[in-house]
């Protein structure tokens, strides 16, 4: 069987592998296709696509991951097969990154008030790309010896409700999905049950809204999913006539334990899913 990974991150956002290193890794492990879906930026895609074109052993899918707000919750939408030169899409991503940077300044001010020695310049120095998120702040704090694990930093400082947390200004789902569609892409609800129970009621409630805006698919294969969660997503996707996508959400060494294409070891996303998603994009 041929396997794929439609959710990965590079140094253009918060991953530790460069776009070309991701391609090399995908070819090494025998993936038939890989999507690069960095947070709120497409700046890594030219390098990614060029690297994949040299050997043609792994099909490269241009993508992006956009955070939106729906019913008071942060929801992630992955766009696949996008035209990354779309001006409207680029403008939306630029606006999102502007709000990201404003939040980073506020978070650092709060961290300094808590006694942590961290500066905005250090964050820029660590960042490999233009989309800078909280995991990079966690990396700095760990390297300075304040914490030992990323989750510990989030629990004590950075997650919602923690002392240094600051809310982001996020676009609406209809805005993000519309721009993905205008750029020729397919819109996928990423990790719909991420850190959640096997809650079909939640999925249905959110999808009643997301389907109004034209969501095309859900991730039914994901590193953190249990068998029951994956089954729930597949079942509810069928109820709403949605396609299934899947991926590891690979961040390299910035997310310990998750391997490209394999997640925590049991992930296997079949190539047939890509064929259906590609047909949707071509409509």
Choice among 27-41, 96-110, 191-205, 226-240 with the minimum mean pLDDT: 191-205
Co-location of 200 and 225 in the same domain: yes
Of 97-101, 197-201, 260-264, which has the strongest mean pLDDT?
260-264
Number of domains in the chain: 2
Last residue of a domain, one of 135, 158, 181: 158
Q: Which long-range contacts (C-beta less than 8 Å, at least 24 apart) are formed by 165-169?
A: 165/107, 166/103, 166/106, 166/107, 166/110, 167/103, 168/67, 168/74, 168/99, 168/100, 168/103, 169/99, 169/102, 169/103
> Bridge partners of 188?
78, 217
Does any domain span residue 218?
yes
**Domain co-membership, 174 together with 130:** no
CB 245 within 8 A of CB 273: yes
Same domain for 29 and 143, yes or no, is no
Kindly indicate the confidence band of residue 197, based on its pLDDT and cuts at 50, 70 and 90.
Answer: low
Query: What is the pTM (predicted TM-score) of this model?
Result: 0.91
Residue 163 covered by a domain: no
Residue 106 inside a domain? The answer is yes
CB 1 within 8 A of CB 273: no
Distance CA 270, CA 31 (A): 10
108, 67: one domain: no
Does the pLDDT of residue 129 top 80, yes or no?
no
Alpha carbon distance 150, 158 (integer Å):
10
Average pLDDT over the chain reads 94
- Please tell me whether residues 85 and 42 are part of one structural domain: yes
- Beginning with the edge strand found earlier in the chain, give each strand of the sheet holding 33-36 in spatial order: 243-247, 217-222, 186-189, 73-80, 59-70, 33-36, 3-5, 269-270
Percentage with pLDDT > 90 across the chain: 84
134 domain residue, yes or no: yes
Supply the pLDDT for residue 126.
81
- Find the domain containing 150 and state its range: 101-158
**Residue 188, Cβ neighbours under 10 Å: how many?**
31
255 in the same domain as 174 = yes
Q: Per-residue pLDDT tens for 152-175?
A: 999 999 998 999 999 888 999 999
pLDDT class of 150 with cuts at 50, 70, 90: confident
Residues 204, 112, single domain; the answer is: no
Same-domain status, 148 and 265: no
62 lies in the same domain as 150: no
Q: Are residues 87 and 139 in the same domain?
A: no
For CA atoms 111, 115, 117, 119, give the dihedral sign: positive
164 within a domain of the structure (yes/no): no
CATH code, 210: 3.20.20.140
> Which secondary-structure segment (H or E) carries 34?
strand 33-36
Among residues 139, 158, 177, the one where a domain terminates is 158
* Same domain assignment for residues 87 and 117: no
Same domain, 116 and 247: no
Residue 148: CATH number of its domain? 1.10.150
Has residue 234 been placed in a domain? Answer: yes
């Amino acid at each position: 069987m041929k396997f794929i990974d439609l959710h990965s991150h590079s140094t253009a956002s918060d991953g530790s592998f460069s776009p070309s290193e991701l391609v090399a890794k995908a070819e090494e492990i025998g993936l038939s296709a890989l999507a690069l879906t960095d947070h709120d930026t497409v700046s890594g895609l030219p390098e990614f696509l060029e690297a994949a074109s040299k050997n043609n052993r792994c099909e490269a899918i241009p993508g992006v991951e956009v955070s939106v707000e729906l019913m008071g919750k942060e929801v992630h939408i992955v766009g696949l097969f996008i035209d990354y030169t779309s001006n409207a899409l680029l403008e939306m991503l630029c606006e999102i990154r502007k709000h990201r940077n404003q939040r980073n300044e506020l978070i650092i001010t709060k961290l300094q008030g808590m006694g942590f020695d961290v500066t905005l310049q250090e964050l820029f120095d660590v960042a490999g790309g233009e989309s800078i998120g909280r995991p990079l702040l966690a990396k700095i704090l760990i390297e300075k010896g304040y914490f030992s694990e990323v989750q510990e930093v989030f629990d004590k400082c950075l997650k919602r409700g923690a002392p240094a947390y600051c809310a982001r200004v996020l676009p609406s789902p209809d805005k993000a999905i519309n721009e993905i569609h205008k750029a020729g892409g397919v819109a996928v609800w990423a990790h719909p049950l991420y850190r959640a129970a096997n809650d079909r009621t939640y999925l249905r409630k959110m999808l009643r809204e997301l389907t109004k805006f034209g969501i095309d698919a859900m991730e039914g294969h994901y590193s953190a999913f249990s068998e029951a969660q994956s089954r729930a997503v597949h079942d509810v996707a069928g109820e709403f006539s949605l396609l299934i996508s899947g991926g590891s959400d690979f961040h390299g060494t910035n997310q310990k334990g998750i391997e490209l294409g394999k997640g925590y070891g049991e992930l296997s996303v079949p190539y047939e899913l890509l064929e259906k998603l590609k047909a949707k994009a071509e409509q």
